[in-house]
């Protein structure tokens, strides 16, 4: 989005300048609001607002250097606060607009004349706006707790885990250890040193894996329904982690010994595409893509009932159910959750829907669809007790995953074909529909 923002600002700046050149003579002025605002065509030999005149070579060299630095550093801004990327894009678009003028003729086209200030242009506004935005970014981080800052911006690690790292001295602020409740002043350098992966007792098991893609940094698999992602209480064997340990020489250690390489997860009885990280660099980047929604996931679900709307959005804060602590529910004070859905096919008393997550809460799709009266077919926790279809778990499948490769920065698209059980249900529903 920041790149699009850059293009829009640059295009508007250049388009307006083309209009000014074609419609006015140098020095010509048009009153828009008498005594307040005029359009005055001025050829400026200096920098913004006319300062440092007749330094064409210097400004061209400085502009080129600035862009080279921006190309190098911009990818590193993706983990920063929301203001910074757009602020840098605005500043660079303004600088580019004036740089194009200087390269073409040595003079910058200015036209906004408020009489009490030197004449300027849209590029100058973008430059000033970018600087202000960068200041706001610093203000946004100032006063924020250190553990909250890290949890929100740097990794997918839980806040409690980060607090332990901070207590262990793994986090430095301007080279000094701080407590978790330390309030940032803004503009400080925060360094997180992740500990080496812990020795693990989890056994590597040569379990079958449906691998969609693999390289030295990531592995993408089609997780089978019924497979637990990582070991937990009472489950130490047969998990995806057990299988990955047998297949991969290395896995990221960021999530500790129990969840090596696991960037995100699917429920035991949800099938579909998942990505795991083979090193910490890939893990941090992928986790950030998932947190910021740069990585996009699409799910298909078969639900009970006929959803009346063609599409819609379900909003409801999700937390532990007061009735059953093993279940999630829409509760006051829960974590905000948003699910977008679109109807793909209707079968009378069943519906095939596509779901896109704006947030990633535990059991989110299952809870949200149940909340509108359309639980998933086969869902053992939230669904109906009896189902005419043979399926071991909920009819929910992670169909596609789009992400940017954490090292090569190439866009990647992965698709996991529907599992046999869901395909069989859809075939039966389509056959029944065709019979009328």
Give the separation between CA 154 and CA 430, rounded to whole angstroms. Answer: 46
79, 154 Cβ separation under 8 angstroms: yes
Question: What is the DSSP pairing of strand 211-214 with strand 218-223?
Answer: antiparallel
Catalytic entry in 267, 285, 379, 421: 267
SS (H, E, C) the chain: CHHHHHHHHHHHHHHHHHHHHHHCCCCCEEEEECCCEEEEEEEECCCHHHCCCCCHHHHHHHHHHHHHHHHHHHHHHHHCCHHHHHHHHHHHHHHHHHHHHHHHHCCEEEEEECCCCCCECHHHHHHHHHHHHHHHHHHHHCCCEHHHHHHHHCCCCCHHHHHHHHHCCCEEECCEECCCCCECCCCCCEEECCCCCCCCCCCCCCCCCCEEEECCCEEEEEECCCCCCCCECCECCCCHHHHHHHHCCCCCCCCCCCCCCECCCCCCCCEEEEEEECCHHHHHHHHHHHHCCCCEEEEEEEEECCCCCCEEEEECCEEECCCCCCCEEECCCCECCEEEEEEEEECCCEEEEEEEECCCCCCHHHHHHHHCCCCECCCCCCCCCCCCCCCCCCCEEEEEEEEECCCCCCEEEEECCCCHHHHHHHHHHHHHHHCC
Identify whether 267 is a catalytic site residue.
yes
Give the separation between CA 381 and CA 363, rounded to whole angstroms. Answer: 10
**Strand ranges for 322-431 from DSSP E:** 328-330, 338-346, 350-357, 396-404, 411-415
Q: Most distant CA pair in the chain: distance in Å?
A: 82
Give the separation between CA 17 and CA 122, rounded to whole angstroms. Answer: 9
User: What residues are labeled active site?
Assistant: 267
């Amino acid at each position: 989005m920041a790149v699009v923002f850059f293009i829009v600002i640059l295009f508007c700046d250049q388009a307006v300048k083309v209009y000014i050149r074609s419609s006015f003579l140098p020095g010509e002025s048009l009153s828009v609001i008498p005594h307040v605002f005029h359009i005055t065509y001025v050829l400026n030999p200096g920098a913004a607002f006319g300062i440092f005149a007749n330094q064409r070579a210097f400004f061209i060299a400085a502009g080129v250097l600035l862009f080279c630095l921006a190309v190098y550093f911009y990818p590193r801004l993706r983990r920063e606060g929301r203001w910074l990327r757009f602020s840098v894009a605005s500043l660079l678009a303004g600088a580019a607009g004036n740089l194009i003028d200087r390269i073409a003729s040595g003079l910058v086209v200015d036209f906004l004349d408020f009489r009490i200030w030197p004449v300027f242009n849209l590029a100058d506004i973008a430059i000033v706006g970018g600087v202000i935005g960068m200041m706001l970014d610093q203000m946004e981080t100032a006063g924020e707790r250190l553990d909250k800052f890290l949890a929100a911006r740097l990794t997918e690690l839980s806040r409690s885990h980060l607090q332990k790292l901070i207590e262990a001295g793994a986090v430095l602020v301007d080279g000094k250890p701080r407590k978790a409740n330390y309030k940032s002043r803004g503009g400080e350098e925060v360094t997180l040193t992740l500990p080496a992966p812990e020795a693990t007792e989890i056994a590597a098991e040569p379990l079958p894996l449906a691998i969609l893609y693999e390289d030295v940094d990531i592995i993408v698999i089609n997780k089978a329904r019924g497979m637990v992602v990582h070991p937990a209480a009472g489950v130490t064997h047969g998990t995806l982690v057990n299988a990955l340990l047998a297949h991969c020489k290395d896995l990221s250690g960021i999530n500790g010994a129990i969840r090596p390489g696991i960037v995100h997860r699917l429920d035991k009885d949800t099938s579909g595409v998942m990505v795991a990280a083979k090193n910490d660099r890939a893990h941090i980047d992928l986790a950030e893509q998932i947190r910021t929604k740069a990585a996009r996931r699409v799910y298909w679900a078969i639900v009970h009932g006929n959803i009346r709307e063609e599409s819609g959005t379900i909003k409801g804060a999700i937390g532990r159910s007061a009735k059953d602590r093993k279940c999630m529910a829409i509760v006051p004070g829960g974590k905000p959750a948003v699910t977008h859905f679109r109807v793909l096919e209707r079968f009378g008393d069943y519906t095939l829907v596509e779901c896109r997550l704006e947030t990633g809460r535990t059991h989110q799709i299952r809870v949200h669809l149940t909340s509108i009266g359309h639980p998933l077919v086969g869902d053992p926790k939230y669904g109906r007790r009896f189902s005419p279809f043979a399926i071991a778990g909920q009819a929910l499948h992670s169909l596609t995953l789009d992400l940017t490769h954490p090292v090569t920065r190439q866009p990647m698209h992965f698709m996991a074909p529907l599992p046999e059980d869901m395909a069989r249900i859809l075939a039966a529903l389509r056959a029944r529909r065709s019979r009328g």
